[in-house]
Amino acid sequence: MKYERISKEELEKMEKEFIDFLVVNGITAADWVSIKENEPLTADKIINQFSDVVWESILRSTKYLDKIEGNTSYFFKCAEEDIYLILIDKVNKTQKSTSKKYIKSREQEMFDMILSGCVISDGKNFNELEH
């Protein structure tokens, strides 16, 4: 897997999208029932593939990430080629801005950042601080 498997609850909430995914991949409802019952490893692989598609879609449409750790706030703008950071240190009352090129793919770096505590945001904080 490229990303993380979505939970059973998330999969249930995305039932329509999952059915569409199965149809696009030539798997009928009867096929899916049979695969789940007779080929659990294949069923797992299909769910893993769907999870990657879901994550890829979310990450491609995400432009901003935020992370708050104690007295430090990180606001990221995830552009196509570079990621921009505005860091706020509440103790020292400082603001720092920087940017860098992605080392991995944009989406993989963003996913790693989410795993490390970043949350997807609307970019309001970043944009207010940038100006």
Segment 97-112 shows an average pLDDT of: 96
* pLDDT tens per residue across span 11-42: 999 999 999 999 999 999 999 999 999 999 99
Q: CA 30, 36, 39: angle at the middle one, nearest 5?
A: 110
- pLDDT at residue number 94: 87
By the 8 A CB rule, do 55 and 111 touch?
Answer: yes
111-118 long-range contacts, CB within 8 A, separation 24+: 111/3, 111/4, 111/55, 111/59, 113/65, 113/67, 113/76, 114/65, 115/4, 116/67, 117/67, 117/69, 118/65, 118/66, 118/67, 118/74, 118/76
- pLDDT at residue number 118: 97
pLDDT at 131 over 90: no
Segment 37-60 shows an average pLDDT of: 96
Cβ-proximal residues to 101 (8 Å cutoff; 6+ apart), any chain: 81, 82
* pLDDT tens per residue across span 75-97: 999 999 999 999 999 988 889 99
